Chains A and B, each alone.
Chain A
């Protein structure tokens, strides 16, 4: 099992000098301790994840601050952008990092984000597929035709050429649909997923569908399944619970505000029941859907995930804990990894 660091939601409440400190410190620690990758998201126009409007710009900084760790976007909201712009920006990062770039692509969900590309919202799922193909072709050095400023067709190639000949690609599969996993398998690219709306046993079935679809489409290799998991490890399960209960509950509250818009069932919960819902959701994450506990207590869960077909656990760390706690927890993830690998 590979372990990575995943940023998801850091807000911009911290002062100017502090906003990116945790991202930089965690990336450097990850680089030294052998974490596999550091993932940063793309978010727009909201306090939730407010420090991440541009994962390419941020990853360019990480490229020069690190030397080994993979630098990945989770996820680039591709329908918001011209595919040539995305390929250009990340080719710069691939050059600066000596070929350490990987990109997860997502279709996007927030209508507000689409003020960047208003015509793309309705058709975002189809546009995602089309644009992924274009980015991959540009990355390989193919010439691709676009309409120019005079509406003439013009063929272009990517500059600068990237270091990696093939762009490592993930598709973000939220988990609401099996079909998305199978379609991703058929494309022959990797999967980025989470346990927000699916259980581990759902995920196991979906990974199986992904791998079957890969084989049926004739792709070699197994593909990679990356699972983002909220992570905090302490000395004991009790210590971890005491540490995360309050910040994680607040984080769930703010994520509900972001994600729940439009989910009728959530909106129908009466206000006096919302606290109860958060309490239930906290327990669900703590007991079944997050890496909360100690290095020792987490081993069975990680083994279950490995058995389910997960290749990489991307430790989601920025849900409201103070930076020192995140750094201490990341060191315990290394302890967990070493325990796993030292077992017979």
Chain B
């Protein structure tokens, strides 16, 4: 994994991905980032198919790995999804 300190864009750990997800979900749902709990299920956050597909598409671009649009169903909270994505990134190395 890159340790390039100049690249604030590249995710290093679960917390980076959580922060990214909270920011993007807050933007999609027009909510304050502070009001989004990373352990609350996506379904109860109100994530619909359009939002989910937008966010998984942006995740793919950011992370450079395939992110299935159905991944929020298998990893139903921001935290679980972030843990899963870190594992996927390590596998992709």
Interface residues of A (CB under 8 A from B): 199, 201, 265-266, 268-269, 273, 276-277, 279-284, 287-288
Contacts and interface: CB of A to CB of B under 8 A. Distances in A.
B61 interface: no
Nearest to B60: A276
Interface stretch (B5-13, B32-40, B50-58): B50-58
Given A273-B57, A276-B56, A265 B43 contact: no
Interface of A is mostly: helix
Interface residues of B, number: 14
Interface SS of chain B: helix
Interface string B44-87: 10000110111011000000000011101100000000000000
A266 B50 CA distance: 7
Contacts, number: 38
Given A276-B56, A277-B50, 13 more contacts: A199-B43, A199-B44, A266-B50, A269-B54, A273-B57, A277-B49, A277-B69, A280-B69, A280-B70, A280-B72, A281-B49, A282-B70, A283-B70
A277 to B, nearest CB: 5
A281 B43 CA distance: 12
Contacts of A265: 50
Nearest to A266: B50
A273 B53 contact: yes
A276 B69 CA distance: 5
Contacts of A268: 50
Nearest to B46: A199
Contact of B73 (A199, A266, A273, A283): A283
29 contacts: A199-B43, A199-B44, A266-B50, A268-B50, A269-B50, A269-B53, A269-B54, A273-B53, A273-B57, A276-B53, A276-B56, A276-B57, A276-B69, A277-B49, A277-B50, A277-B53, A277-B69, A279-B68, A280-B52, A280-B53, A280-B69, A280-B70, A280-B72, A281-B49, A282-B70, A283-B70, A284-B49, A284-B73, A288-B43
Could you say which of A273, A280, A282 has the most chain B C-beta atoms within 10 Å of its C-beta?
Answer: A280
